Structure 1
Amino acid sequence: MRPDPNDTQAAWRTFSAAAQPALDRWQAALEAPAATQERVLARLLADNRESAFGRAHGFARIAGPAQFRERVPVHSHAGLLPWIDRALRESQPVLTVQPPRFFERTSGNGAQQKLIPYTPDFLGAMQRALTIWLADLYRQLPEIGAGRAYWSMSPPLQAPCHAPNGIPIGSASDLDYLAGSPVAGLAPTLVVPPLANDASAWRRQTLLALLAADDLAFVSVWSPTFLTSLLRPLFDAGDPAHAGTLAWLDTALPAPRQAALRRALAAGTCDALWPRLAAVSCWMDGPSQTYAAHLRERFPHVRWLPKGLFATEGVVSLPFGHGEGCPLAIESHFLEFLLDDGSVCDAAALRPGDTAQVILTTGGGLYRYALEDRVRVTALAGRTPRIGFVGRAGAHSDLAGEKLDEDTLGAVLAATVDARDHACLVPCASAEPPHYVLLVASAGQRDAEALRASVEAALTRSFHYAHARRLCQLGPLRVRLLAGPPARLADALQQAAEQTGIRAGDVKPRILINRLATANALLALTDA
């Protein structure tokens, strides 16, 4: 049932008032990032000194960031895995004194999904970041409170289960992240489709719920590819589901919304569908930049907002204020940065132009955790760095010693693939010998063999790739051209990731698909 507009606006006003103290503290913290971060670290160490990890690393004797770096090494997920395994089995405090409320699966299409402990303290830090973002957004753009909002909420596509010690693995709903926070008061203002476990049914119901919401004022999703994939059966006449989707909507929607849909289809934009829509928030940097630019064409009259760097493992930056990039989440976790010269610095030491990898220490029990996200400092908010997402430092594929990484591949594709096209590299590990397939979605005519030759030549400038090819451990590159709009590749990746257990709203655009289950599904979907 559609809520009363007055109730929606009242909910936002109530939220804004409740969030004001947090907003005031945040604005003060931006002027003192070093002191703020020292307080965060001191609290995390004090709270968890009696955990098994805290006792093993002498948390009680650590007096500041410098000693913390001396006594606690940087951990990859593999390095922290023995501790996480203990936290999955034991009932005594392992990583944190607070027991995890649940373990969340990482959402990306990396080579392996990981389990991240979510404690009440960690959830509180995430909630405060969301509160600050939404409160600042409402202050800048009160029009988002003039109607309902859609926040990407997708059902878990992997069966719920429990760890050996009984702690749930996976949250039942994305709404679990909001419980007990001021943001939870906005839940009645949301468009919430039924969370069907069947991905196809859920996607159809989500589309129906959005089209029925003539008062939609704000859309918040993670990846732009998610929203593109929802809208594709409407606007792309070449999509196999196009005719069936329109026929179904013609019977499911009331007459006024059917008329609005016809006007939107004729115009090729969503303005007629959602005349109150004030803003869309999604990832807009790194690999998402191109996909966001194409999606904006469907929404020419709304404000587009960056999402900040929210990962399953923690929040690194959050949208706030004006300027390029987003300020570091200095109140949420203790943040360190591995610079390109190999040195490690605190948040306050970063300067505009620096590029670095993120190291997180969180209330969930990740200590000096190498997130493998690369960021670039774009400006300052007060004295706190604003950052943009560059890409994944750890995104690599190694079928036969070729050691491909996303940075190298990005440079290759930039030099060889038309900027109007979308492309990604997919390993075919089951072939003999294994090889890579370059998927290219283009609206124009492309010479597949010429493209294959130029990309292969560029890849062989890498010693390890060339060596694997010379030894015939790796087969020659192959190219598949996908007819239709460039966004077709994003749709295929979205579908492949969902088929292999990744929540629909969490799929990340990538140019190197190194999760083999997703790679196999993507190759099957694009095998014409």
Structure 2
Amino acid sequence: MFGHRLLKMAAWPGERRFAAGRENLEHVQRDKLALLLRKVAACEVGQRRGVAADWQWETFAEQMPVSEYGDWRDPVDRARESGGNALIQSPVVRYQPTSGSTSAIKWIPYTRQFLSELDNAISPWIVDLYRQFPRLSGGRHYWSMSWVPTSLRDNMREDINDDIQLMSMGKRLLAGATQAVPQDVSLARTSEDSLFATLAYLVSDDSLAMMSIWSPTFGLGLLKSMALWREELAEVLASGSWGQRMKGSHTECCPRSPRAAALLRQWDGRLSADFFMTLWPSLALVSAWDTAASSPWARQLHGLLPQAAFQGKGLWATEGVVTIPYQGQYALAYRSHVYEFQDPSDGTIYAPWELEQGQEVMPLLSTGSGLLRYRLKDLVRVDGLPGGIPALTFLGRAGTTDLVGEKLTAAALDASLSQVTLPPKTLPVCTVAVEDTGDGTPGYLLLLEGESANTDNVAKALDAALQQHFHYQLARNLEQLAPLRCVIRPDMRERYLHQCRERGMIEGNIKMESLQYWPGALPVWLREPPVSAREVAL
């Protein structure tokens, strides 16, 4: 397709700069900090916090404390209400909602400066994609939307849902010409209608060459929704009319595909690689998270779409980008933001050029949104320094659950779970720390997806493995923690995702995490004996 050629040409200069500057990491980062400080020092919040435009890297590291969203919430909220931006001298394009594992919605200022920083990461990734997977040029692509709850849609700008908006204007137009799903699908009145319309366009396109999503569980959910709605989708694609869908939206054009409609009507709804290979014969690549707790779900998604290669995402957050897939590794996006890295064990902070292979650290970002030394609670391992820039692998969330002093980390949980044999065809979804396991005692629940099985031995084995960690063992010996309990259900992933949404998280930002803390009362389905998925509504 001609659009692909133009997109590659537009991204090529950014990729050349990325490739050429790798040996000058320190110089590039110091220059980026100097530019950022000039823009921050010119604004209200920067002046109030004493930021100076002439700070050197060492002065900035000494004078500016590490921050989290709570340190910026008040000025961001005031700026949203006034329509301005008090954090940095750059116009705000929009405020992007996001959420953490347990936090309510946060709003990140997407300024022109910040978007240009994201574009500096997207360009080398795009060029490298076409270089590694040449079949991508032969069909349309799907870049998933940043799904937003229905309740937020009426109060947001029209461009907030589309991940293509992370690109520069020129690349955005070119990428839009290669897309399988029109941008205005994101403007549907409800999340369900957006999802339905997305599926209609995807199912109708037998030239689909790429699916770029974030969580592999979102991809699995797309396929399951396709099975659930297959009859309605077949009717829409046969008639070329939305019927009862998409009312009140700006999307008037409806896809039509007699071929896809016939396939859906013949399909029994079981998810199988044979069906999806017939539906999307040209699919060349699936891109999604595939590390840490996302790994088993990525394997499951790839198993259903074996005609495509699979590429893991780099580490992206709504607050900024840390790594991109580049030349077979997750390379630091060193031309995007200002980066530092903190050792979680002793708090030491390193500049990116000071990192050494084997270190496990947490990224600190200073970005064109105006957030300075912003700590992402993600743990990464330094796998090497190819070409002069760090290659980093995401290991999981760096947070600690501490109900009664047990100080349990995701890494410790993962190591313990690796010692446990699960029942056949069973996948771990998450281990959650809860304040009341059912008898008033706090403890941990291992959520498993699979058919009903006796999991007593699994619970005992994991509890014993966790007791290799001093603080957890002490809490168990003192009966401060209840014995770990397993809950297994065939639809556990859907229940977990629903619970995350109930706790204020946004679809598309939800990662599969090996360890979470769920404050408050347990959902009913975690307190009652298991029943079939059809008997209990989420």
Fold-level similarity (TM above 0.5) = yes
8 A contact 1:111–1:515 mirrored in 2: no
Q: 2:493 aligns with which of 490, 493, 500?
A: 490
Give the match for residue 409 of structure 2: 405
In 2, Cα distance between equivalents of 1:84 and 1:65: 25
- Superposed CA deviations along residues 116-150 of structure 1, whole A, max 9, x for unmatched, are 22211111211232232112212333321211111
Pair 1:338 & 2:327 matched: no
SS at match of 2:141: strand
Pair 1:477 & 2:472 matched: no
Give the match for residue 455 of structure 1: 462
Q: 2:397 aligns with which of 392, 395, 416?
A: 392
8 A contact 1:334–1:362 mirrored in 2: yes
User: Greater shift after overlay, 82-91 or 223-232?
Assistant: 82-91
Give the match for residue 185 of structure 1: 174
Pair 1:284 & 2:286 matched: no
SS at match of 2:335: coil
Pair 1:354 & 2:338 matched: no
Give the match for residue 237 of structure 1: none
Change (3 A) 1:402 1:268: farther
- Superposed CA deviations along residues 173-195 of structure 1, whole A, max 9, x for unmatched, are 44543462413321132122633
Q: What residue identity is the alignment partner of 1:449?
A: D
Give the match for residue 440 of structure 1: 448
In 2, Cα distance between equivalents of 1:298 and 1:501: 30
8 A contact 1:513–1:519 mirrored in 2: no
Change (3 A) 1:183 1:202: closer
Give the match for residue 246 of structure 2: none
Give the match for residue 370 of structure 1: 375
Offset of residue 23 of structure 1: 1.8
In 2, Cα distance between equivalents of 1:268 and 1:519: 40
Change (3 A) 1:118 1:92: closer
SS at match of 1:126: helix
Structure 1 unmatched ranges of 5 or more: 1-8, 235-241
How many residues in Structure 1 have an aligned counterpart in Structure 2? Answer: 501
User: Greater shift after overlay, 341-350 or 356-365?
Assistant: 341-350
Pair 1:251 & 2:235 matched: yes
Change (3 A) 1:155 1:232: closer
Q: 2:134 aligns with which of 139, 142, 151?
A: 142
CA RMSD of aligned residues (A): 3.3
User: Greater shift after overlay, 75-84 or 124-133?
Assistant: 75-84
User: Greater shift after overlay, 184-193 or 327-336?
Assistant: 184-193
Please list, as runs of the form range in 1=range in 2, the aligned pairs for 1:203-282 lying within 5 A after superposition: 203-232=195-224, 245-254=229-238, 255-260=258-263, 262=266, 268=274, 270-282=276-288
Q: What residue identity is the alignment partner of 1:188?
A: A
In 1, Cα distance between equivalents of 2:342 and 2:193: 44
Q: 1:505 aligns with which of 497, 503, 508?
A: 508
TM-score, length basis structure 1: 0.84
TM-score, length basis structure 2: 0.82
Change (3 A) 1:434 1:265: closer
Please list, as runs of the form range in 1=range in 2, the aligned pairs for 1:112-191 lying within 5 A after superposition: 112-157=104-149, 159-160=151-152, 171=160, 173-178=162-167, 180-191=169-180
In 2, Cα distance between equivalents of 1:501 and 1:65: 37
- Superposed CA deviations along residues 339-382 of structure 1, whole A, max 9, x for unmatched, are 35543221122233222111111111111111121111223341
In 2, Cα distance between equivalents of 1:259 and 1:204: 18
> Following superposition, which runs of at least 4 residues in structure 1 exceed 6 angstroms of deviation?
167-170, 263-266
SS at match of 1:509: coil
Q: What residue identity is the alignment partner of 2:348?
A: S
In 2, Cα distance between equivalents of 1:353 and 1:401: 29
User: Greater shift after overlay, 358-367 or 116-125?
Assistant: 116-125
Q: 1:379 aligns with which of 381, 384, 401?
A: 384
Offset of residue 334 of structure 1: 0.5
8 A contact 1:496–1:521 mirrored in 2: no
